[in-house]
Amino acid sequence: MNKSDSERISGILSHFGYEETDKEKEADLLIINTCSIRQLSEDKAYSKLGVWGKRKRNNPNIKIGICGCVAQQDKDKVRKRAPYVDLVFGTHNIYELPNLIKRIENNEKICAIKNTPVICDQNNFKIERKDSVNAWIPIIEGCNNFCTYCVVPFTRGRERSRDMNEIVKEAENIIKEGFKEITLLGQNVDSYGKDLNDKNITLANLLRKLNKLKGDFRIRFVTSYPSDITDDLINAADECEKVCKYFHIPMQSGNSRILKEMNRRYTKEEYYAIVKKIRERFPLVTITSDFIAGFPGETEEEFQDTLSAIDELELDYSNTAAYSPREFTKAGKMTDKFIPENIKYERLERLNEKNKEACIKSNKKFIGKILNVLVENITLKNGKRILNARAGNNKIVHFEDNSKNIGDFTNVKITKAQTWCLYGEPAD
């Protein structure tokens, strides 16, 4: 979502004479788009601002901005920790940027934080997409779930879905521009349409509509909330040949008591049933997840349920994190139940080991299989042309080929599996 917001921000700035540079030291305007999901990401943002602040002392003409969740969450803290910042703007203020930029150019210092959520429609501004093959399309923003550890509902507001026709129009343009993959984005992508009071506006129906668009491209959607995956969505994924057979369904914990404490709306058994249903329908599907180690009050036995879940469900990959207390959240106030840091990080290490094991096991399943991949970039290695591609199931595949180019779809026979990627040879 942040990447997508950054593409919108660069797009808006381009209308006002700004051009992106990859030479940070030469920039006249520096904007950091921040994430506050964990303390680490927040700390990174402040450390970057510190570097820019030093630069501004030598060159006061540089303008510095901060946006995203850290800005939205606590503007006073930003002001206090980085008083040299010219512009602070929140997650709902991106489309005010034209006016804000003019004002900072006139040496005003501005803090624009709105609490009324907006819908991220294009508003006639360009979007400067960074990737040449994949294009992000946010379809729903915000979250109503209030998982007890998570700051997102406080920084992104309640769920709001975009108009279906607007999304289809954006997708049509993207395909015309030559993109080969569309990723539909949402904090809970399967909640799409619930706020629009029209029972036909669902993620499943959006997939069916997009699948009918002409062109050689594929469709992904992230992130799915386990208990919101409907049979209709599974049917749509099955019917639509352009939809990748790949589901990202964060489980967060393998233990039902912890899931309840997290305010997740499913039990361990319900999650297992969803995975089983998807695997039965799509034999070569990949299912990935997110897990948190050391949630307040988590016992060693409860943590072991998370390790077992990765094994038993044969999860293909998981994002992992140590629990990080967040402002405003319920779990952040459970200080008497916080797990000591050393135990939390020891659990995270074991979780990462288990995830590695699961990945290599998953990758080995594909040896000998033919996967259809999309070439994302090319590297030259010892005079050989190595194509770096992604399969529909989201696996990274490397292979040598002299005839294919970035943006081509092609078949590859998998010959070797490593922990994080596959190797293969052309099979067309």
Task: Identify the CA nearest to 140 among candidates 108, 172, 186, 175.
Answer: 186
User: What b/e sequence results for 332-370 when a residue is b if at least 16 CB atoms lie within 10 Å of its CB, and e otherwise?
Assistant: bebeeebbeeeebebbbebbeebbeebbebbbeebeeee
Q: Which of 9, 45, 64, 143 binds ligand SF4 (CB under 6 A)?
A: 143
DSSP assignment of 271-289, as one string?
HHHHHHHHHHH-TT-EEEE
Does 38 bind ligand SAH (CB under 6 A)? Our answer is yes
For residues 294 and 347, give the distance between their C-alpha atoms in angstroms, rounded to a whole number: 7
For residues 374 and 133, give the distance between their C-alpha atoms in angstroms, rounded to a whole number: 8
Which residues are registered as beta bridge partners of 287?
Answer: 247
Does 258 bind ligand SF4 (CB under 6 A)? Our answer is no
- Check if the beta carbon of residue 268 is closer than 8 Å to that of residue 256: yes
Strands of 109-202, DSSP E: 110-112, 134-141, 160-161, 181-186
Does 145 bind ligand SF4 (CB under 6 A)? Our answer is yes
Least gap, CB of 325 to ligand SAH (angstroms): 7
For residues 70 and 85, give the distance between their C-alpha atoms in angstroms, rounded to a whole number: 14
Of 52 and 323, nearer to ligand SAH (C-beta) is 323
Count of residues that bind ligand SAH according to CB under 6 A:
17
Of 202 and 363, nearer to ligand SF4 (C-beta) is 202
Least gap, CB of 68 to ligand SAH (angstroms): 14
- Cα dihedral sign, 153-155-160-165: negative
> What is the number of other CB atoms lying within 10 angstroms of the CB of residue 382?
5
Q: Which of 65, 138, 153, 424 binds ligand SF4 (CB under 6 A)?
A: 153
Of 217 and 225, nearer to ligand SAH (C-beta) is 225
- Residue 112 binds: one of ligand SAH, ligand SF4, none (C-beta under 5 to 8 A by kind): none
Does 37 bind ligand SAH (CB under 6 A)? Our answer is yes
- Residue 323 binds: one of ligand SF4, ligand SAH, none (C-beta under 5 to 8 A by kind): ligand SAH
Q: Which of 52, 225, 246, 266 binds ligand SF4 (CB under 6 A)?
A: 225
Does 328 bind ligand SF4 (CB under 6 A)? Our answer is no
In this structure, what are the phi and psi dihedrals at residue 76, rounded to the nearest 5 degrees? -70, -35
For residues 215 and 155, give the distance between their C-alpha atoms in angstroms, rounded to a whole number: 37
- Check if the beta carbon of residue 32 is closer than 8 Å to that of residue 118: no
Q: Which stretch binds ligand SAH (CB under 6 A): 25-33, 147-155, 342-350, 373-381?
A: 147-155
Q: Which of 62, 110, 118, 321 binds ligand SAH (CB under 6 A)?
A: 321
Does 323 bind ligand SAH (CB under 6 A)? Our answer is yes
Binding mask 343-382 for ligand SAH (x = CB under 6 A): ----------------------------------------
Binding mask 233-252 for ligand SAH (x = CB under 6 A): -----------------x-x
Least gap, CB of 355 to ligand SAH (angstroms): 13
Does 68 bind ligand SAH (CB under 6 A)? Our answer is no
- Residue 146 binds: one of ligand SAH, ligand SF4, none (C-beta under 5 to 8 A by kind): ligand SF4
Least gap, CB of 144 to ligand SF4 (angstroms): 8
Binding mask 169-188 for ligand SF4 (x = CB under 6 A): ------------------xx
Q: Is 90 left (phi over 0), alpha (psi -120 to 50) or beta?
A: beta
Amino acid at 119: I
Task: Identify the CA nearest to 166 among candidates 120, 109, 231.
Answer: 120
Amino acid at 369: K
For residues 284 and 183, give the distance between their C-alpha atoms in angstroms, rounded to a whole number: 20
| Footprint on this chain of ligand SF4 (rule: CB under 6 A) | 143, 145-147, 150, 152-153, 187-188, 225
- Point out which residues bind ligand SAH (CB under 6 A): 37-38, 149-150, 152, 187-188, 223, 225, 250, 252, 290, 292, 321, 323-324, 326
